Amino acid sequence: MRGRALLDILVEDLVAQGSRRIILCVGHMKEQIISHFSGRRDADFLFSEETAPLGTGGAVKNAAEFIRSDPFLVMNGDSMCSVNLQALLEFHHARDADLTMVVVEDRTRGDAGAIRLGADYRIVSFHEKPVPGSAVSGHINAGVYLVRRAMLDSWPRKYPFSLENDVFPGLADGGRCFGFVAAGSVVDIGTPERYRRAQSDRPK
């Protein structure tokens, strides 16, 4: 973005907020990513390598052997949302959540996971990219999550699988998934159209 790789921006924010051990799930162009981050000394970088596409959920589960923290933080590598990680952690612990998802208010986008929150910030429903013309919930998935480590055992064993389609809807039904509302917006470069828009857009 504006001459800088989004992954660099994400990592620099993690380090600035105190992260010292970062696991990168790498597949396509993994050699370049590993080479780029292996030389950094501001954090320990580990690489969970995929030999075939595993999906968003499969990539996280594949990295389980490297995960030490509980809860652990998961972030998309193709989107960005400004969030105070200490406040997110406190919110997660206060609700004894299985998973806390960062969400932002947005009633215009139909190409992101739509979230409906209860009065206590509990996620009542999650719909990945709802059908055009359907009711807009008011919040969308920002691609940042705190996850109780034990939850990995309940995730699908068959790869590939998706967090958005195969994990999140069931967690919402279980009532122990919460939404942490962040200010600002989400910058997403997951499609060519979003990438072009991101060149002049940053989270506020």
Domain-wise residue ranges, the chain: 6-198
Distance, CA of 157 to CA of 144 (rounded, Å): 23
Distance, CA of 166 to CA of 143 (rounded, Å): 15
DSSP 3: T
Q: Tell me the longest C-alpha to C-alpha distance in the chain.
A: 49
* Mean pLDDT (whole number) for 112-139: 76
Distance, CA of 199 to CA of 5 (rounded, Å): 11
DSSP 77: S
Task: Report yes or no: 29 and 123 within 8 Å, Cβ to Cβ.
Answer: no
The CATH superfamily holding the domain 6-198 is Spore Coat Polysaccharide Biosynthesis Protein SpsA; Chain A (3.90.550.10)
Distance, CA of 113 to CA of 156 (rounded, Å): 20
pLDDT digits (tens, 9 = 90+) for 53-110: 999 999 999 999 999 999 999 999 999 999 999 999 999 999 999 999 999 987 555 5
* Per-residue model confidence (pLDDT) at position 127: 83
Long-range contacts of 62-71, Cβ-Cβ distance < 8 Å, separation of 24 or more: 62/25, 62/159, 63/23, 63/25, 64/152, 66/23, 67/23, 67/149, 67/152, 68/21, 69/21, 69/149, 70/148, 70/149, 70/150, 71/100, 71/146, 71/147, 71/148, 71/149
Residue 203 binned pLDDT confidence (cut-offs 50, 70, 90): very low
CA dist 203 → 55, 118, 142 (Å): 26, 25, 11
pLDDT digits (tens, 9 = 90+) for 4-44: 789 999 999 999 999 999 999 999 889 999 999 998 999 99
Q: Which helix (H) or strand (E) holds 12?
A: helix 6-16
Joined tokens for residue 15: 């380090």
Residue 186 binned pLDDT confidence (cut-offs 50, 70, 90): confident
* Per-residue model confidence (pLDDT) at position 175: 85
* Per-residue model confidence (pLDDT) at position 2: 54
Task: Report yes or no: 81 and 160 within 8 Å, Cβ to Cβ.
Answer: no
